[in-house]
Chains A and B, each alone.
Chain A
Amino acid sequence: MFYRESGDFKTTYAKDTQTFPIKLDRMGYYTILAIAFVVIPTMLVMNVGGGANYWTNAILLPFLIWAIASIGLNILVGYCGQLSLGSGGFMAVGAYASYKLMTSFPDLSIFIIVLLSGAITAGVGILFGLPSLRIKGFYLAVATLAAQFFLVWMFNKVQWFYNYSASGQISAPTRSVFGFEVTGATASAEAKYLFCLVLLVGVAWVARNLTRGRIGRSWMAIRDMDIAAEIIGVAPLKTKLSAFGISSFFIGIAGALFFAVYLGAAEVGEAFGIQKSFLLLFMVIIGGLGSIFGSIIGAAFMVLMPVLLKNIMVGQLNWATDIAAHFEFVFVGALIIIFLILEPHGLAQLWRLLKEKLRLWPFPH
């Protein structure tokens, strides 16, 4: 009823191409921002329900960080069509870069450290993107798989990366933004949450801007028909490498946050193994390839689903935890398969269809 475009005439090209062309969408977007920036932090500070740390560590932080990584991978796979299984390795690059930067430059703001870690990861991503000019599809996936194993091996083998510590682990020292600690053991839940949220909003905004204009169209052109893209003047290698660079930049930021803010201490094989690459790819596919919103919703799905299943099986049905853990794999796996059969274009496409229907509701056509 209220979800209408009719009567809402766009008189400039800028208005015609805005991110949320329908008024109700815009209002919804501002509402979500208000909840994310004001309501949730207030609840965390007041510790409503008594589980501020649990909510932050089990749901909020993983969701925000995986959403950043998911947007990154979606640019590469969904927008530019280059299949990558090296994301776990690239997250490790971001994590170790932030660790080295934090320990080498103790006075540097954590905000700048996270961005620099992203930039370093972008460089590594571009390097491993070089084969993409020659190989495509599954073969490129295998080449990026090499990056995954090589990077994990390198961070285990070269002791300089973990400052020669005996355990082989890296652990984040305490660093703060505007006087609020966001890393280390004493950092408060709301500070960590807000720090990651600001970065997610920033990443989503930049990703949307990049994908709506000249560069985004060149990525999609390479994805859809590389020969035709070339005939229009799109340089294939430069375009693919720019996608690898931007994608790795975001994934590197996510890796740095995952280690410094979320885990606090990490061992590369365990924290950034191949299963993380697959998890991220599932998020992108389930959320919807070629959609920023899809990346975020895909991350939410993959983070929330296991928590929800665990709460139902252990909390409500009183199953043993180990059985519940195994059933969790079965359920999530089955859900992914069912999903891909019913809606191969992901949750974003479902949302799009729902909006199509809403615009016409209560009429069928």
Chain B
Amino acid sequence: MNATAESYVTEDGRTIGAPVMEMKNITLKFGGVTAISNISFDIREGEIRAIIGPNGAGKSSMLNVINGFYHPQEGEIWFHGEKRKPMKPYQIAQQGIARTFQNIALFKGMSTLDNIMTGRFTHMKTNMLMQAIWKGPAEREENLNRDIVEHVIDFLEIQAIRKTPVGRLPYGLQKRVELGRALAAQPKLLLLDEPMAGMNVEEKEDMSRFILDVNDEFGTTIALIEHDMGVVMDISDRVVVLDYGKKIGDGTPDEVRNNQDVIDAYLGVAHD
């Protein structure tokens, strides 16, 4: 793989394009604590990019920077070849970045269908007056978006729980609904924060399959944080490794696996 090439084709035939998101020398501090120090990496179009590292390495902080929850003190974020101005999280969502959370963040009082329909929010445009009248534009728009949502529901195989309040669903399904909500937004970049945390082997396999299918069928660019090394090494195209807020490795799964700094970070190294 040539890191400077505009695009290349993977072994399984997917085309990986130019970088869609570039993080340049990001530094994030909370008071005296430096959560992320001077990290640069990029996410290429159509790839599955994993961010790994031990607890407290700054992985989730990194996603929160991409999302706009945190604003880094130093560094630049480039999205689709443009330097991004400081933005609110909802403005970043409107640019086409969706995410799921480490701890499930579904809307507990709503049904599966409504949760996923909420994911279409940025694509729906009718104003309040049309909504109040309902008949006409609002209903048409609702049904068009319902169609897209039903495709997501089919894709994730959750037809049976369409009308169930999400609070009643088991954990694995809730994770799936949350993925569905992010997918319904048809994002350009999908961020997954530990999509497989707390799942059993079957659920992990299902989720891995969904992630690969999303990437393959819709060509969605995915950045994910995951602790299960087997899964990460299996499904990701490139991996960036963080430790104590610093980048210690970046490359294909094989490169990362053989990187001495990464091995030290995970297995520990004798300090003398």
Contact = CB atoms under 8 A, between A and B. Distances in A.
Given A14-B143, A214-B124, A228-B101, A221 B107 contact: yes
A14 B131 contact: no
A231 B67 contact: yes
A210 B131 contact: yes
B213 interface: no
Given A215-B131, A228-B101, A230-B90, A220 B110 contact: yes
Contacts of B147: 13
Contacts of B218: none
Interface string B236-248: 0000000000000
B256 to A, nearest CB: 28
A214 B126 contact: yes
Which among A212, A217, A236 has the highest number of chain B CB atoms within 10 Å? A217
Main secondary structure on B side of the interface with A:
helix
Contacts of B139: 14
Interface string B117-147: 1111110101010011110001101110011
Contact of B105 (A210, A212, A228, A242): A228
Nearest to B67: A231
Contact of A215 (B67, B98, B128, B146): B128
Interface string B86-97: 001110011000
Interface string A217-229: 1101101110111
Nearest to A238: B90
Interface string A120-147: 0000000000000000000000000000
Interface residues of A, number: 31
A13 B153 CA distance: 14
Contact of B110 (A206, A217, A235): A217
B59 interface: no
B90 A233 contact: yes
Nearest to A224: B107
Contact of B107 (A17, A213, A225): A225
Contact of B88 (A212, A225, A235): A235
Interface of A: 12-14, 17, 206, 209-210, 212-215, 217-218, 220-221, 223-225, 227-236, 242, 246, 290
Given A14-B143, A220-B107, A221-B110, 20 more contacts: A13-B147, A209-B133, A210-B131, A213-B134, A214-B120, A214-B121, A214-B124, A214-B141, A217-B121, A218-B118, A221-B121, A227-B101, A228-B101, A231-B67, A232-B185, A233-B94, A233-B185, A234-B121, A246-B128, A290-B109
